[in-house]
């Protein structure tokens, strides 16, 4: 049976676009436009499907096209395609935890508010924060081709030096826990910013609550293969 191009296109596109399902479609930007990584991934998938079909026996041609499409999609998409899949997995695993997932180009940011992370004036991880951290550790072990920057933030109540130290200790607590769960410490860096990078006004309680947070920034590792 001849493997028609139209059938190959359908198979390749299905592989390229069906790699991840999430609450928010990871292949469509907020403005409704298709991500570039999806375009490149689809092109790679079609090319891979063609190669897979051409190099397989007649009996295994469909199977070969599917395998070739999957490999081609990943290669064609590069880090953008890789980050799309990771973003989708993170949105799924962080749903309902209070952890916010944001995406800026190739960078993924996780924002963890103070009400789920640490008690007041403490760098000890709160009991209800362990479950989200365990999910993050699982994701970071699975997706191991990006750096992990952990940044602690506080409001402006109290001495600046105290808040700076507290934010660093909180970032280090998160890093230590992730490493204890098997995340490679070579990928992890920590910073404490104290009250120096507020995202809301410190004049109100709700604003101070937003400023008390831990952020994790995921960026591509230099020279990594995707």
Whose CA is closest to 90, among 109, 77, 76? 109
**Tens-place pLDDT, residues 94-128:** 999 999 999 999 999 999 999 899 988 899 999 99
pLDDT at 173 over 90: yes
Fold of 96-220: 60s Ribosomal Protein L30; Chain: A; (3.30.1330)
User: Which string of DSSP letters, residue by residue, matches 7-36?
Assistant: HHHHHHHHHHHSS---SS-TTB-TTSPBPH
Tell me, what's the pLDDT at 79?
Answer: 83
How high is the pLDDT of residue 226? 64
- Provide the residue ranges of all domains of the chain, joining segments of one domain with +: 5-92, 96-220
Q: Give the per-residue pLDDT at 120.
A: 84
Does residue 138 have a pLDDT over 90?
A: yes
Q: What is the pLDDT of residues 13-72, one digit of tens each?
A: 554 455 444 334 444 444 554 454 554 455 555 555 555 555 445 555 565 555 555 445
Look at residue 60 in the predicted model and tell me its pLDDT.
58
Average pLDDT estimate for 176-185: 98
> Cα(11)–Cα(46) distance, rounded to whole angstroms?
8
Q: What is the pLDDT of residue 55?
A: 46
Q: Tell me the per-residue pLDDT of 149-165, one tens digit each, with 9 for 90 and over.
A: 999 999 999 999 999 99
- For the cut 50, the answer to whether the pLDDT of residue 142 exceeds it is yes
206 burial via Cβ count (<10 Å: 0-12, 13-18, 19+): exposed
Residue 223 pLDDT:
74
């Amino acid at each position: 049976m001849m493997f028609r191009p139209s059938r190959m296109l359908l198979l390749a596109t299905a592989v390229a676009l069906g790699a991840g399902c999430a609450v928010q479609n990871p292949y469509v930007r907020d403005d409704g436009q298709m991500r570039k990584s999806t375009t490149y991934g689809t092109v790679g998938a079609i090319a891979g499907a063609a190669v897979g079909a051409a190099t397989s026996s007649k009996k295994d041609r469909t199977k070969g096209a599917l395998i070739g499409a999957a490999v081609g999609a990943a290669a064609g998409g590069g880090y953008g395609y890789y980050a799309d899949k990771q973003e989708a997995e993170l949105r799924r695993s962080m749903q309902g935890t209070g952890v916010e997932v944001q995406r800026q180009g190739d960078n993924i940011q996780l924002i963890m508010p103070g009400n789920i992370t640490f008690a007041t004036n403490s760098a000890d991880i709160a009991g209800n924060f362990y479950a989200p951290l365990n999910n993050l550790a699982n994701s970071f072990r699975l997706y191991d081709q990006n750096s992990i920057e952990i940044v602690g933030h506080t409001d402006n109540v109290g001495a600046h030096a105290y808040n700076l130290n507290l934010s660093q200790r909180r970032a280090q607590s998160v890093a230590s826990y992730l490493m204890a769960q098997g995340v490679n410490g070579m990928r992890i860096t920590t910073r404490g910013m104290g009250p120096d990078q507020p995202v809301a006004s410190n004049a109100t309680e709700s604003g101070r609550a937003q400023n008390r947070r831990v952020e994790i920034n995921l960026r591509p590792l230099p020279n990594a293969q995707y």
